[in-house]
């Protein structure tokens, strides 16, 4: 089944979720939002990132794609300092560096050659990093449900234009998978946007490295893939980076609370 069709159905499921939570009022909120341009930009950025990543997946190995794509948190950290004026602390720099180092070890990439697939993944990382910065900015004034609704509305409109002319009949199993992906993906989007309200973009980007560990867990549970030693070593650094950032931010919040 084409990726555009999957994204189209998935987006419809998330839109239904948003309407169930926020009712029709979220449409009016979106129309009245002062951040409509930023919301549109974020929707286009996330869609571009997903399309480029999935397209490159036909040519690159998973290890190569994982390593390249997780340049995104590094880019997010730099952009957060440049545009959001976030403080670049030693913990944030160290967490970003250690996390990326762990990803490189776990993915164990070999034989990189610069071509269009590599450039596509790097482009996806850049678009995703920009989307993270936009999400942090939009979250200051717009509700989470409005952001998630707008993003998936953009995806449905654009992917529908691509998928509908070449629509393939879906089996019950395929429909169930797409609906499940929509429910899980929609929930993840809600959680991510809510986190963006309380956590600096540079920290939020670095914590994304934890997704690597979950990919190993689900790979083993559903596909019987057994990680090699380098995966466990890399995962150790990823967890260490996340814990270092979490402890640093918690200590900072305590200082702010205790201050007179």
pLDDT digits (tens, 9 = 90+) for 149-169: 999 999 999 999 999 999 999
Among candidate residues 148, 153, 143, the one with its CA nearest the CA of residue 33:
143
The C-alpha angle 50, 130, 54, rounded to 5 degrees, equals: 10
Structural domain for 101, as ranges: 3-258
pLDDT of res. 149 = 96
Q: Is 190 helix (H, G, I), strand (E, B) or coil?
A: helix
pLDDT of res. 99 = 77
Query: 218: Cβ–Cβ under 8 A, 6 or more apart, which residues?
Result: none
b/e per residue, 32-71, with b = 16+ CB within 10 A?
ebebeebbebbbbbbbbbbbbbbebeeebeebbbbbbbbb
Q: Is 259 helix (H, G, I), strand (E, B) or coil?
A: coil
pLDDT of res. 184 = 93
**Alpha-carbon gap, residue 7 to 55, rounded angstroms:** 13
pLDDT of res. 206 = 64
Answer yes or no: are the C-beta atoms of 121 and 53 closer than 8 Å: yes
**Alpha-carbon gap, residue 249 to 243, rounded angstroms:** 10
Answer yes or no: are the C-beta atoms of 100 and 69 closer than 8 Å: no
pLDDT digits (tens, 9 = 90+) for 162-221: 999 999 999 999 999 999 999 999 998 999 888 877 777 666 766 666 776 777 777 778
Answer yes or no: are the C-beta atoms of 50 and 72 closer than 8 Å: no
Q: Is the pTM of this model over 0.85?
A: no
pLDDT of res. 257 = 40
Average pLDDT by consecutive 10-residue portion of the chain (260 residues)? 87 95 91 92 92 80 69 77 77 80 72 72 88 87 93 95 93 94 92 82 67 73 74 76 70 49
Give the total number of structural domains in the chain. Answer: 1
């Amino acid at each position: 089944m084409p990726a555009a069709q999957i994204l189209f159905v998935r987006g419809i499921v998330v839109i239904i979720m948003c309407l169930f939570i926020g009712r029709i009022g979220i449409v009016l909120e979106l129309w009245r939002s002062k951040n409509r341009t930023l919301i549109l930009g974020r929707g286009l950025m996330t869609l571009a990132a997903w399309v480029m990543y999935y397209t490159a997946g036909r040519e690159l190995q998973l290890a190569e794609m994982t390593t390249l794509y997780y340049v995104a948190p590094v880019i997010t950290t730099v952009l957060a300092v440049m545009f959001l004026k976030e403080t670049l602390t030693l913990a944030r720099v160290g967490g970003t560096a250690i996390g990326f180092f762990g990803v490189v070890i776990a993915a164990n990439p070999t034989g990189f050659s610069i071509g269009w697939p590599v450039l596509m993944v790097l482009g996806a990382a850049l678009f995703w990093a920009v989307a993270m910065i936009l999400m942090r900015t939009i979250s200051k004034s717009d509700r989470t449900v409005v952001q998630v609704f707008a993003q998936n509305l953009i995806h449905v409109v654009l992917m529908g234009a691509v998928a509908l002319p070449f629509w393939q009949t879906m089996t019950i199993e395929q429909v169930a998978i797409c609906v499940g992906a929509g429910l899980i993906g929609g929930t993840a989007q809600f959680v991510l946007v809510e986190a963006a309200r309380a956590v600096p973009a540079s920290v939020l980007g670095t914590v994304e490295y934890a997704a690597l560990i979950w990919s190993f867990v689900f790979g083993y549970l559903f596909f019987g893939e057994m990680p090699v030693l380098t995966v466990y070593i890399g995962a150790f650094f990823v967890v260490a980076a996340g814990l270092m950032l979490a402890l640093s931010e918690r200590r900072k919040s305590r200082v702010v609370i205790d201050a007179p």
